[in-house]
């Protein structure tokens, strides 16, 4: 079900067809023309649009709003051009920000009077295109090039299937290994301090994305990492001893269930539980 915004009932006729994206563009356009708007309201689409409507009520005519409307639509990419972007994919969003903020595309970060970190990633990326004065043809080339380059980057993903993003030991190991490797200079400054497995995996894979290496060397690097991880696990297994315990059948079932929930073997679970208890007590 489509979200109903309160501001849409108040939208002036001169802004027919405007939605949240276009209202954000108009906010920036009017500020550039001297409007003083409350930046504390820019992060919420409904509050932003209502505030904008309040400000233009006595200052703009149907004709002036129609002028803004025509300017906006004549210089904007169709929303479908952005459909390939999954804004829940932190790796993709981070890469797009690097491409746009780093000046690697003709479309660069939009200049605004407010802090764009208050906006959603979708809004930031679309605004960069919407406020840029490049011809539509060039904007289409930029968004298509970004899509094509991303498609090439994710060709390496099958080589990452051995990575268990829920395994903290493995994710920490990946970070340690890439920091010791020749790829360390490519680690993004923004990702230097991961706090969870998602951050650690992002640091690792984003570093690969930033290297600019062809697919074949990337696959070779990942194959070597995979083999190294397996050797590490074999060494750990060699230190283990067999321990037969007599427990209730229900206890065994619970151990199996908890181990499955943690993506561990039964022996690994017992090692982890004992380690946790030792850490708690000593």
Higher pLDDT, 274 or 64: 64
- The CA distance from 157 to 161, in Å, is 7
Mean pLDDT of the chain, nearest integer:
90
Domain that holds residue 171: 165-238
Question: Same structural domain for residues 118 and 67?
Answer: no
Q: Is 188 exposed, middle or buried (0-12, 13-18, 19+ CB in 10 A)?
A: middle
* Residue 215 domain flag: yes
- The CA distance from 209 to 43, in Å, is 30
Number of separate domains in the chain: 4
* Residue 243 domain flag: no
* Residue 1 domain flag: no
Share of the chain above pLDDT 90, in %: 77
Res 18 pLDDT > 90: yes
Question: Same structural domain for residues 49 and 105?
Answer: no
* Residue 160 domain flag: no
> pLDDT band at 39, cuts 50/70/90?
very high
- The CA distance from 1 to 67, in Å, is 32
Alpha helices in the chain (DSSP H): 20-32, 45-56, 62-74, 90-101, 121-130, 136-153, 168-180, 197-211, 215-238, 249-261, 266-281
- The CA distance from 249 to 264, in Å, is 19
Q: For 195-243, what is each residue's pLDDT tens digit? A: 999 999 999 999 999 999 999 999 999 999 999 999 887 655 545 666 7
Domain end position, chosen among 74, 92, 118: 74
* Residue 119 domain flag: yes
pLDDT at res. 46: 94
* Residue 38 domain flag: yes
Question: Same structural domain for residues 199 and 225?
Answer: yes
Model pTM above 0.75: yes
Question: Same structural domain for residues 84 and 151?
Answer: yes
Domain end position, chosen among 74, 105, 125: 74
> pLDDT band at 3, cuts 50/70/90?
low
Domain end position, chosen among 18, 46, 74: 74
Q: For 102-149, what is each residue's pLDDT tens digit? A: 989 999 988 899 999 999 999 999 999 999 999 999 999 999 999 999
Question: Same structural domain for residues 83 and 146?
Answer: yes
Question: Same structural domain for residues 206 and 274?
Answer: no
């Amino acid at each position: 079900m489509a979200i109903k915004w309160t501001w849409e009932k108040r939208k002036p006729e001169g802004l027919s067809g405007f939605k949240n994206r276009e209202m954000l563009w108009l906010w920036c356009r009017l500020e550039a023309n001297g409007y003083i708007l409350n930046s504390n309201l820019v992060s919420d689409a409904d509050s932003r649009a209502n505030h904008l409507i309040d400000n233009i009520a006595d200052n703009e005519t149907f004709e002036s709003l129609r002028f803004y409307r025509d300017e906006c639509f004549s210089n904007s990419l169709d929303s479908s051009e952005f459909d390939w972007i999954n804004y829940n994919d932190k790796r993709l969003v981070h890469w797009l920000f690097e491409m746009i903020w780093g000046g690697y595309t003709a479309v660069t970060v939009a200049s605004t009077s407010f802090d764009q970190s208050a906006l959603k990633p979708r809004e930031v990326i679309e605004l960069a295109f919407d406020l840029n004065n490049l011809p539509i043809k060039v904007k289409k080339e930029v968004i298509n090039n970004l899509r094509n380059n991303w498609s090439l980057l994710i060709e390496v993903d099958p080589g990452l299937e051995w990575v268990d993003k829920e395994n903290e030991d493995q994710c920490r190991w990946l970070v340690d290994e890439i920091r010791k490797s020749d790829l360390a200079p490519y680690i993004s400054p923004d990702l230097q301090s991961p706090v969870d497995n998602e951050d650690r995996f992002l640091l690792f894979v984003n570093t690969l994305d930033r290297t600019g290496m062809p697919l074949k060397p990337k696959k070779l690097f990942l194959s070597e990492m995979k083999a190294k991880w397996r050797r590490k696990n074999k060494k750990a297994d060699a230190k283990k001893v067999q321990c037969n315990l007599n427990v209730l059948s229900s206890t065994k079932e619970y151990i199996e269930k908890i181990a499955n929930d943690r993506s561990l073997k039964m022996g690994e679970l017992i090692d982890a539980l004992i380690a946790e208890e030792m850490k708690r007590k000593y």
